[in-house]
Amino acid sequence: MFYISSYKSYYLMEYVGFIAKSEKRQLTLKVAFCILSQYLTMIVFQFLDFLF
């Protein structure tokens, strides 16, 4: 069980490293930031709607 989880985490770290080395890293970060900011904006508006 521990071996499987450590193998998965190793694979995940390799994947993250691959993304970091990728030329599309900047684009990936921009897209992630766009999605995150839209999500946060939605949460803020729902919260304001809840308050008022």
Residue range 5-37, pLDDT digits in tens: 777 777 777 887 776 676 666 777 788 888 888
**Helix (H) and strand (E) counts for the chain?**
2, 0
Q: Which of 18, 14, 20 is nearest to 6 (CA)?
A: 14
Res 35: pLDDT:
86
Rounded to an integer, what distance in angstroms lies between the CA atom of residue 7 and that of residue 9?
6
2 pLDDT higher than 60: no
For tokens 């803020």, the residue is 44
Res 48: pLDDT:
83
Kindly list the distances between the CA atom of residue 40 and the CA atoms of 28, 34, 35, 36, 45, in Å, as whole numbers in the listed order.
18, 10, 9, 6, 9
